[in-house]
């Protein structure tokens, strides 16, 4: 950046004053442009950091939920056998916490059509002799599946599927 003198002296000609003013205007414009670019860079940095922070939060939440779901499954199995009121209340509270973080249970029931997007086939079985099972329908739900509220699967439901028609 060129150095300019500040102020005018008595020896300056009107031409010198005009040239100095033009230089000040150019420098002022240059500084305004540099400031605008710096501000835009700062705003882009803030947006990028907010986006990255959100991604980190989602990754951490996802990892935590994936680690927590097997524990929740164990508690459900224990509740089936114990029928303990305190355990039931704790599980309800945990379910509300999962809900508040955007976790939803994948709805799967016997007789539903198998969907590889939300189900994981662990086994296939023949339909019962008396009827009641169609090919590629769910015979049994072995383990619940979970997804985010936006539909992205956290863990597919583990199922047993009928392998043939009756």
Average pLDDT over residues 134-161: 94
Number of domains in the chain: 2
Q: What are phi and psi of 160, to 5 degrees?
A: -105, 135
pLDDT tens for residues 121-135?
999 999 887 777 788
Last residue of a domain, one of 79, 101, 123: 101
- Residues 61-114 pLDDT 10s: 889 999 999 999 999 999 999 999 999 999 999 999 999 999 999 999 999 999
**Domain of 153: which CATH number?**
2.30.22.10
pLDDT tens per residue across span 18-75: 677 778 889 999 999 999 999 999 999 999 999 999 999 988 988 999 999 999 999 9
Positive or negative torsion for Cα 106, 107, 109, 112: negative
pTM of the model: 0.67
Domain membership of residue 8 (yes or no) is: no
């Amino acid at each position: 950046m060129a150095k300019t003198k500040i102020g005018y002296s008595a020896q300056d000609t009107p031409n010198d004053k005009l040239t100095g003013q033009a230089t000040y205007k150019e420098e002022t414009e240059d500084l305004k442009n540099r400031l605008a670019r710096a501000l835009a860079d700062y705003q882009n940095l803030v947006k990028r950091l907010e986006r990255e922070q959100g991604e980190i939060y989602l990754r951490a939440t996802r990892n935590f939920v994936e680690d927590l779901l097997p524990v929740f499954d164990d508690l459900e199995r224990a509740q089936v056998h114990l029928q303990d009121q305190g355990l039931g209340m704790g599980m309800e509270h945990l379910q509300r916490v999962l809900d508040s973080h955007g976790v939803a249970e994948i709805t799967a029931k016997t007789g539903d059509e198998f969907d590889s997007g939300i189900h994981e086939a662990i086994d296939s079985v023949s339909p019962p002799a008396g009827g009641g099972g169609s090919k590629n329908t769910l015979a049994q739900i072995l383990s619940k599946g979970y997804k985010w509220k936006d539909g992205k699967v956290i863990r597919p439901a583990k199922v047993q599927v009928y392998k043939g028609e009756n």
